[in-house]
Amino acid sequence: MQTTATPTHCPYCALQCGMNLTPTPDSGGSPVEVTERPDFPVNRGALCGKGRTAPALLSPGVRLTSPLIRRAGVLEPAGWDEALDRIAGELSRTRTEHGPDACGVFGGGGLTNEKAYTLGKFARVVLGTSQIDYNGRFCMSSAAAGGIKAFGLDRGLPFPLEDIPKTGCVILVGSNLAETMPPALRYLTELKENGGTLVVIDPRRTRTAEQADLHLAPRPGTDLALALGLLHLVVAEGRTDEAYIQERTSGWEEARAAAMAHWPEYVERITGVSVPELRETVRMFCEPESAMVLTARGPEQHSKGTDTVGAWINLCLATGRPGRPFSGYGCLTGQGNGQGGREHGQKADQLPGYRKLDDPAARRHVAEVWGVDPDSLPGPGRSAYELLDAMGTDIRALLLMASNPVVSAPRAAHIEERLKSLDFLAVADVVLSETAELADVVLPVTQWAEEGGTTTNLEGRVLLRKQAITPPEGVHSDLHVMHELADRLGVEKGFPTDPEEVFEELRRASAGGPADYSGITYRRLAEENGVFWPCPASGSAGEEEGRAEDPRAHPGTPRLFLDRFATPDGRARFVAVNHRPLAEEPDEEYPVLLTTGRVVSQYQSGAQTRRVDELNAAAPGSFVELHPRLAERVGAVEGEPLAVVSRRGRAVAPARITTSIRPDTVFMPFHWPGEGRANTLTNPALDPTSRMPEFKACAVRVERVERMG
C-alpha cells in the first residue's frame, strides 16, 4: 500500500477543492484520511465538512461492493458476468423489438470527463440512441444557454475565482455560497477587505446574505423583472458605457427598449424590492471601475431562466463589464463536473468539445475520431426531464450512471412511477441510492479516490484526480462497465478502460471545438494546478489531430473575451427580454410560494452524504422554513410537523420558524427522500431554450399536521 500523500480533488461540488489523501492502514474504517493541500489556489487548503468527511464513503459498510440482480422482486448479490450479460441482453432485446431510441441513457455531473465522454460515445455508437441526457441539465443549463446567446460560448466563470476580490462590486444572485461552497466564501470576504461591496439577492436572509452590504429579498421568480428594473435605472441615470456598447456589442436598441418598459415603481410592485434599494444597487454596481454579476440556481432554475440570465448579462454589457479586467458575468456551477459533463457528450444535443450534434462539420470531425460514418450518429434527443417523463412509454430500458432522480427530479413522485414502469433499469453507482433500489441490475463502481481521471471546475480549470487506493474486490470503474457492455453488444474496440487513453482520444475529439482540450495532457496536469480551456495544441496538425510536440505551447485561457467574444463578429449580443409570470402563480387554493435549496452538511440528492454520520448529525432531515406571520396564520409550531401541498403532491417536515424568509414564501431543502421529499412538490414546467425545470418556485398551501393519539 502506498504510504505517501496523494494530491487529488474533492468528489463533491464544482470548486473541486484540492486535498491530499494519506492511507490509514489497519484503521478498521476509511482507508484514507484527508489532509490540507494549501498549494491548490482555489481553496488554499480550506475544506468544508463534506470534503473533510468524504473518505467515509470508501468504507465497505456504506457502499456497494457486489453487483445486484433482482430475482422474484428482491435485489440479490450476483457475479459481474451475469450482471453484465443481463444488461447487454436487455438492451439488445429492447433495440431489436422497439428500435434504438427505446434505450435511454442518463448520466451525472459527478462523472469524470473520461466517463462522461465515453457514456456519450456509448449511447451514440453502441446503442445508436439519441436518448441521452444528464442531471447537469438541472444545474446550469439556463446560464449556459444565456451565455451562448450573449457571448457565443458557455464557461461557468470566464475568469478565475482569484479575480473576485479584485473587483469593485459583486452582485450575487440566488447563491448561498456559505452553505453550498463554503471555501469560496473567502473570496467575498476578501472582496470586502479590499474595499469592494457585495449585494446579495435572495428571498431568504441566508448566511451569505448576512455578509452583504446590501441584501435584496425579491419574491421568488421575479429576478428577471429585477434585472430589467436595474437596467432601466442605469439608462435613466446616464450610467451606460456608450463607447463599449458601440465598439463591442450589438442589439442594444432592442434591449434598451425592453428595459425602459420596466420602470422602478412597476418593478417594486412585482419584486417587493423598494425603489431606493434598486437605486442603491445601481449606484454600488456602477460607481467602481470594475464589477461582476454572479448567478446560481436561484434565477436559473425557472421556466424563464435563460431570459433571466440574459437580463443580468444585459446589465453587465450596458455598463461595459464583460471582457474587461476583474469584471463581467459568471455562473457558479454546482456539480463537481457539471461543466465537463456537458462539454464532452452527455447532453442531448452536444458532441465532445462542446460541438453541436446537428452541425454537419462537428459530426464529421467526431465521427472520424470514433471511426464511424457521420450518418450513423443519431440526432439530438430529449432533455433530462423529458427523457425521464418518457420512461415506460417511448423509452423502455434505461442505463443510469451516477444520478438519483427519485430524489432530485422535479415532480419526483411521478418520475419514481415512470422508473417503475420501465421494462428494464440498470444503475451503476457507488451506493444503493433510492433510484438504484428500483433497478433490475445494480453495478458497484469505483469512487474518486479509487480511480484516476479529470474534471473541469466552475472556472473552466481542467484538473487531474489521482488514484490513491485500490478499490475493493468486486468493484470496477464505469469505464470497465462500458467496455464490457460494448464488447457484448458487438463493438469490440473504441472503449478502453484506462482513463488516460480515453483522455487522449478526448483531446482529438475536442480539437478545434469551443471547449478545446487538445493542448492538455495528463503529464501537464500532474505538474500544474490545472489548465483552463480552451487550450488548443500548437500547430495546424496539432489543432486538427489533438497532438503536438509541445502541448505547453498554449498556456490555457484563464480569462475569456479580453480581445473579442466567441461570436462570428466578435461582438457580444444583447438579447431583448421581458418579465413574465411564473409558470404557476399562487392562487386562493395554493396561496404561498415554495422555493427549494441546499444545506451545508448535505449534497444534492444526499445519496452519499446521508451515509456519513457526522453530516447526518448536523443535518438529520428535511424541514419547512417559514416566517412567523405565516406560521401564526396556519397554526405552525416550531419543530412540529407541517405539510406543504402542491398540485403534484404533499411533503411533511418539521417547521422551522424564522424572520429570515419572506412572509409569502416557504423554503425546503431537497436532499431527502420519503415524506419530506421537496421535489414531490416542484413544477416540471420547462424553459423553452434550456429545458430547465422550474425548481425554484411553485404554488403551495401549508397545513398543520395533527399528531395522532
Encode 468-501 in three state secondary structure: CCCCCCCCECHHHHHHHHHHHCCCCCCCCCCHHH
- In which element (H, E) is residue 132 found? strand 132-134
Q: From CA 438, how far away is CA 443, in angstroms rounded?
A: 13
Q: What is the pLDDT of residues 433-486, one digit of tens each?
A: 999 999 999 999 999 999 999 999 999 999 999 999 999 999 999 999 999 999
The pLDDT of residue 61 is 87
Q: Write the pLDDT tens digit of every residue in 78-122.
A: 999 999 999 999 999 999 999 999 999 999 999 999 999 999 999
The pLDDT value recorded for residue 540 is 36
Residue 391 has φ and ψ, to the nearest 5°, of: -65, 140
Q: Which helix (H) or strand (E) holds 544?
A: helix 540-545
Cell of 143: 446560464
Residue type, 95: R
pLDDT averaged over the chain? 95
Per-residue model confidence (pLDDT) at position 539? 55
Quickly count: other Cβ atoms within 10 Å of residue 704's Cβ: 15
- pLDDT at position 541 is 35
Q: What are phi and psi of 494, to 5 degrees?
A: 100, 5
Average pLDDT over residues 545-556: 62
Task: Examine the pLDDT at 273 and tell me if it is beyond 80.
Answer: yes
Characterise 639 by phi-psi region: left (phi > 0), alpha (psi -120 to 50), beta (else): left
**Residue 698, amino acid:** C
pLDDT at 342: 85
Q: Domains in the chain, start-ordered, CATH in brackets?
A: 6-62 (2.20.25), 68-138+336-553 (3.40.50.740), 152-332 (3.40.228.10), 592-704 (2.40.40.20)
27 pLDDT band, cuts 50/70/90, is: low
Q: Kindly tell me if the per-residue pLDDT of 628 is higher than 90.
A: yes
For 341-376, what is each residue's pLDDT tens digit?
889 999 999 999 999 999 999 999 999 999 999 999
Instruction: State residue 94's pLDDT score.
Output: 98
183-237 confidence digits (pLDDT tens) = 999 999 999 999 999 999 999 999 999 999 999 999 999 999 999 999 999 999 9
* Pairing status of strand 453-456 against strand 461-465: antiparallel
Residue 551 has pLDDT above 80, yes or no: no
- How does 194-206 read in b/e, with b if 16+ C-beta sit within 10 Å? eebbbbbbbbbbb
pLDDT at 3: 64
pTM (2 d.p.): 0.96
- Amino acid 543: pLDDT: 39
